Amino acid sequence: MAFLQSQQAQKIISEYLDKPYSTPPAINPIFDLREPGQEFPPLNPPVQTDPVVDPCPPGYQLIDGICQPIDQFGGAMPENTVGEGFDDSDDRTESEKLFDDMKSSTDNMFGATRFLDKYQIGEDEFGNPIFSFDEKVGRPPLGLGLIDMLFDGAANREKKYNQAIETILGQTSNFGQNNPLAFGKQSGDIFTMYNPQQYLDQTKDVVLQQTNKQPVTMGDMIGSLNTGTASQVQSQGTEPVDIRGSSLVIEDDGGVRRRDDTAYQSAVAKNIARNVSNTGSSGFSTTLGGFTRGR
C-alpha cells in the first residue's frame, strides 16, 4: 500500500492515463489466417495449383502417356471447343461414346484387332496376317521423341500390344494351352491371327457337343446355317450395310454389295467357340440352324 501512495506510483498511473488510445490491428498476422475484411478464418486455406499443360502438339492426343496422332484412331483433329464462347458439353450420342471407348481400348476384340493393325508385318503362306511389335510404330515425330521417352512411350505401346494379344487369345482360353478353337497363335515374337477360311478349316472337326448320343462338330453346326429351319424363313431383306468397314460386307465386280459368307460363317464359329469356352454350351441348334440364346 505504501508503494501506491508514493510519487513513483502516481507518475506511472498518470503516464498510463494520459497515453493516447490506438486501435489494435484487425487481425493477428501471426496466428490469424483471415484476409483483411474477412469475417471468419478459412477452413481450407487456398492452395496454388499449376495449370494443366498439354504436352502434345495440335493433331496429337496423350493416350497412356504417349502422344499419338488422332487420325490413327479413326477420328479427325478436334476443333477448339473449350473456353469463352464455346459449349464445353459432349454432344456425342451414347452409341458414339460407346464406340469411341471400344475402339481406343484393347480389352475388347474390336479395339484389340484395331490396335494390332498397325503392327502387321505381312501374311504367312496361308494368308493369315502376322504381327510383331516395333517400338518405332506410333512414336511421335521429330522433337517429340523426348516427350515419348519421358512418358515411357515404347514400354506403354508394348504393354498395349501384349494386352491386345491376350484379349484375342483370351476369348477361348478355357480350352487350355493346346486350344483347338483359339483365334490365333503366338510363336516367339510373332503373333498370327487366323483368317476366316483358316479358322473354319482348323475348327471344323472339333467335337463340341452330343445330340442323340451322336457327336456334333463345329463343321456340322456351320453346315446347318443353310439347312436348318431358320434358313427356310422367307423375308424381304435389305441391302447389307457396311458399318465402319465391316469385313462381313464385300462388293462384287459389278458393284453389288453382299455378305461375305466365309467371313460370316467364321464369325458364327467364333461365337460358338466363345459360348463353349465361357459357359460349357454352344447355345447353337443344328435343327434350327442358329443360336437358341444370346451370344
With vertex at residue 203, the alpha carbon angle to CA 201 and CA 204, rounded to the nearest 5 degrees, is: 70
pLDDT given at position 146 = 62
Q: Is the pLDDT of residue 288 over 80?
A: yes
pLDDT digits (tens, 9 = 90+) for 173-220: 887 778 999 999 999 999 999 999 999 999 999 999 888 889 999 999
Crossing angle (nearest 10°) for helices 196-203 and 261-279:
50
Query: Cα(233)–Cα(147) distance, rounded to whole angstroms?
Result: 59
Question: If residue 164 lies in a helix (H) or strand (E), which one and from where to where?
Answer: helix 153-169
Q: What is the pTM of this model?
A: 0.61
Q: What is the pLDDT of residue 235?
A: 43
Average pLDDT, the chain: 76
Q: Which of 192-201, 222-231, 241-250, 257-266 has the highest mean pLDDT?
A: 192-201
Asked whether 20 and 14 are in contact (CB, 8 A), the reply is no
Cβ neighbours around 68 below 10 Å, total = 20
- Could you give the 3-state DSSP secondary structure of residue 216? strand
Q: How far apart are CA 232 and CA 288, in angstroms?
A: 10
Residue 70: all three cell numbers together: 488422332
How many angstroms separate the CA atoms of 122 and 92, rounded? Answer: 36
Q: Note the pLDDT of residue 258.
A: 75
What contacts 24+ positions apart, CB below 8 Å, involve 246-252? 247/196
pLDDT score at 76: 47
More confident residue, 37 or 259: 259
Per-residue pLDDT of 43-78, as tens digits, reads 555 555 556 566 566 666 666 555 666 655 444 444
Q: What is the mean pLDDT of residues 120-142?
A: 88
Report the b/e string of 126-144 with b at 16+ CB within 10 A: eebbbbebeeeebbbeeeb
Coarse DSSP helix, strand, coil percentages of the chain, rounded to the nearest 5 percent:
35, 15, 50
Reported as a single tens digit per residue, the pLDDT across 1-37 is 666 677 777 777 777 777 776 666 655 656 556 565 5
pLDDT tens digit sequence for 69-125:
665 544 444 455 555 555 557 788 888 888 888 888 888 888 899 999 999 999 999
Cell readout for 50 is 499449376
C-alpha neighbours within 13 Å on the C-beta side of residue 186: 14
C-alpha cell at 73: 484412331
Closest CA to 106 of 170, 160, 67: 160
Residue 55, burial from CB neighbour count under 10 angstroms (0-12, 13-18, 19+): middle
